Amino acid sequence: MDLDPNVLSPTSKGKYITGYVGLPAGFNVSFIDPSSLRLNDAIPLVPGTRVTIGDHDSDGIPDLIVKFDRQIVKTLFTKPGNYTLHIPGNYVRSGNTVPFEAFDSVYVR
């Protein structure tokens, strides 16, 4: 996973943090259940935002592109530093649900 921006400022008024979720070869991101994604087990996607598929890192493997509310994400941090965030989610294919977890780190000013 890659989060954008990677540096968060407490005073930022930005609306969103964008998450780019990639899966290992052989898994298709279109089978990720977007409603199952929870940033740090807590924060769901912003309701009403579009979930799209692109190739953010140009490695030829599609990424699921999702939006989190930056003002809510900021409440996870009480002091500056490096933080590793994780996003658990479910991969659902042919009625089988496979839980997975994606990670990225951010720097908080």
* Interface with Ca ion (CB under 5 A): 55, 57, 59, 61, 63
Q: How far apart are CA 94 and CA 92, in angstroms?
A: 7
Least Å distance, CB 32 to Ca ion, is 14
For 92, phi and psi rounded to 5 degrees?
Answer: -120, 115
CB of 58 to Ca ion, least distance (A): 7
From the CB of 57, what's the least distance to Ca ion, in Å? Answer: 4
Unique residue bearing structure tokens 């002091």: 79
Smaller CB distance to Ca ion: residue 44 or 62?
A: 62
Collapsing DSSP to helix, strand or coil, 72 comes out as helix
Q: Six-digit token pair at 9?
A: 């400022």
Alpha-carbon gap, residue 50 to 63, rounded angstroms: 14
55 or 101, CB closer to Ca ion? Answer: 55
Nearer residue to Ca ion within complex by CB, 52 or 71: 52
CB of 29 to Ca ion, least distance (A): 9
Q: 24 vs 48, which CB is nearer to Ca ion?
A: 24
Structure tokens at 58: 């140009």
